[in-house]
């Protein structure tokens, strides 16, 4: 018994060293995976955020075809940065809907006039309620929604040019 006790600390320590080494050499993984991936969209029905587009409801996102749901705001600078990528996706035939966060219709109109309008429908989430239900922590974020209205993928931050292939691939997967 005493013999085992004597060597126990060393054995424990060796286990710790193994743990530390595995922690040290594991590739740094800073991607946050949303718990909502695989879940159906939360139910919502939002009024129109722009003058020339209808509002957005969760039912409208269940169209049988995968679509993108872009969370943006007219006051958000990175949203301007991702606008060309969204236009390119639209050109590639992707259906894109959007939710504008804490926004005003005139501001959204001005934003779309300046940066282009890739959206089919835009809902206004004046108090971030839907954004919170979606588990989205900021703007911009983009969700891939499959044909049955389930969240297939979440992209946090602005879409850069080299993110476009990933998003197209995810859309294809969700088909």
Question: What is the binding site for another protein (CB under 8 A)?
Answer: 2-3, 6-7, 9-10, 13-14, 16-17, 19-26
The DSSP code sequence of 15-48 is: HHHHHHHHHHHSPP--PPPPTTTTSBPPP-EE-B
Least distance between another protein and beta carbon 153 (Å): 19
Measured from the CB atom, the residue of 23 and 93 that comes closer to another protein is 23
Q: Given the complex with another protein, which of 30 and 175 has the nearer CB atom?
A: 30
Q: Which residue, 9 or 165, has its beta carbon nearer to another protein?
A: 9
Q: Return phi, psi of residue 138, to 5°.
A: -170, -175
Nearest approach, Cβ of residue 1 and another protein (Å) = 12
144 Cβ contact list (under 8 Å, min separation 6): 66, 67, 68, 69, 151, 152, 153, 154, 155, 167, 170, 171, 174
Choose between 13 and 110: whose C-beta lies nearer to another protein: 13
Q: How far is the CB of 20 from another protein (least distance, A)?
A: 6
């Amino acid at each position: 018994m005493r013999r085992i006790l004597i060597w126990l600390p060393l054995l424990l320590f060796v286990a710790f060293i193994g743990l530390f080494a595995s922690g040290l050499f594991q590739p740094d993984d800073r991607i946050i995976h949303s718990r909502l991936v695989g879940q159906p969209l939360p139910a919502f029905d939002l009024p129109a955020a722009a003058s020339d587009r209808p509002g957005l409801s969760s039912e409208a996102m269940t169209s049988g075809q995968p679509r993108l749901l872009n969370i943006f705001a007219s006051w958000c600078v990175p949203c301007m940065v991702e606008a060309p990528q969204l236009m390119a996706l639209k050109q590639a035939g992707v259906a894109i809907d959007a939710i504008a966060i804490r926004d005003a219709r005139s501001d959204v109109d001005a934003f779309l006039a300046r940066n282009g309008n890739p959206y089919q429908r835009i809902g206004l989430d004046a108090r971030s309620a839907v954004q919170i239900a979606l588990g989205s922590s900021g703007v911009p974020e983009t969700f891939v929604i499959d044909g049955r209205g389930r969240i297939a993928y979440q992209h946090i931050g602005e879409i850069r040019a080299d993110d476009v292939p990933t998003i197209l691939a995810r859309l294809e997967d969700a088909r």
